[in-house]
Structure 1
Amino acid sequence: MTPTRLDDEPDAPEPETREDDNKTPNSPISELEGRLFDQRKVLIFGGINDKIARDVTGRLLALAGTSDKPIDVYVNSPGGHVESGDTIHDMIRFVDSIAPINMIGTGWVASAGALIYAAGRPERRVCLPNTRFLLHQPMGGVRGPATDIDIEAREIIKMRERLNRIFAKETGQTYEKVAKDTDRNYWMSAPEAIEYGLVNRIIHSANDLK
């Protein structure tokens, strides 16, 4: 089955999945990742795919195994594969039972990125002042026999209904309102996302997380 996309750029090329040649033990990249790990910070930037899901899952599990102190997850994403977003969403919920997770939105939190962001507890979902949020319905791109296309279409409808239920539960909006809003691109500023129930508050400094 072709992965279903949940982003604002359905035809964008997939992010490269090859390992970065510069990730040697003493490279600046490794040093930065080491510092972020020590500070219990996880970055989810860029398109959501299976590599991002694997990396984020590994980091969250490693951090949860190290301590039960809070983990800060920063999200800046145009979206991507729904299935990969589901993986990260569920893993955040799983790890949050061990170590509390703060979700921090920055830049844009769109589509599958919004699905991931919504995994945080309502009181722990915050964002920076200029963050924008986007909710909309999933998109498919299957080719083949008419029967396969019909199966894919029905699966996308079920997926859309499931995602709408998630956002309705996490925002406090009715299912009917979320379904109507996500029928087209539904953009929100940080203050609008607070009013919608997706964001708890806007933060301006690291001290605001404490």
Structure 2
Amino acid sequence: METPHEHDEPAAAPSTAEPRNAFLEEKAFKSRTVLLFGEVSDRSAADIARRLIALDAESDKPIDMLVSSPGGHLESGDAIHDIIRFIGAPVNMIGTGWVGSAATHLYLAVPRDRRFCLPNTRFLIHQPSGGAGGPASDIAIHAREIIKARERIAQTIARETGKPLDSVLADIERDRWLSAEEAIDYGLVGRIIQNKSELRR
């Protein structure tokens, strides 16, 4: 005769992932550090905006934001860019891995003296891309919006690097990759650092 629950599934061991994540989140908050790793999306923009606003409410001390992202949704990058400029606490922007496209746009939200990168960071600037389909009138509208976005991105790069707008427009016509040293020369980055203590100099 079967004993009760003889064939029941064994109870799952309690997961340690959730407490560990909560612990790491708390440590990041206490150290006033925000991470953007991966694609820039509506979800990542909402998460980063929440963190920035919470940290700003907590203190006016600097916030360190580490960015390693290929870019993504331009308007999501705009949202992060504008929130960084909206809050009162200064943000130290730290590039690592690679910073491309919409991620470069949000990276430029802070003054050059607060734009840092680690030695192996690469940067990518280019014009926005589009793949609209549908009626010809919709394609024409989309094309006009792409041109406007291209102008706006070029104006931001020109303003934050000191380069002439015409020069930037030519540079972003195709993919333009820059090493950490080249990004310094271009005006994207203020300083290459190797450790956190260099942020406070």
Give the AA of the match of 2:140: D
Matches within 5 A, 1:31-110: 31-95=23-87, 98-110=88-100
1:209 paired with 2:182, answer: no
1:171 paired with 2:122, answer: no
User: In the alignment, which residue of structure 2 is the partner of 1:30?
Assistant: 22
User: In the alignment, which residue of structure 2 is the partner of 1:155?
Assistant: 145
Inter-partner Cα distance in structure 1 for 2:68 and 2:98: 5
Cα distance, 1:81–1:22 mapped onto 2, change above 3 Å:
farther
Counterpart pick for 2:188 among 198, 201, 209: 198
Instruction: Give the aligned length.
Output: 186
Inter-partner Cα distance in structure 2 for 1:182 and 1:23: 42
Offset of residue 33 of structure 1: 1.1
User: In the alignment, which residue of structure 1 is the partner of 2:173?
Assistant: 183
TM-score by length of 1: 0.86
Matches within 5 A, 1:134-153: 134-153=124-143
TM-score by length of 2: 0.90
User: In the alignment, which residue of structure 1 is the partner of 2:108?
Assistant: 118
Structure 1 runs of 4+ with >4 Å offset: none
Offset of residue 76 of structure 1: 0.4
Of the two structures, which has the highest relative contact order with CA contacts closer than 8 Å and spacing of 6 or more? 1
User: In the alignment, which residue of structure 2 is the partner of 1:4?
Assistant: none
Offset of residue 161 of structure 1: 0.5
Long gaps (5+) in structure 1: 1-20
Name the SS for the 1:143 alignment partner: coil
Offset of residue 107 of structure 1: 0.3
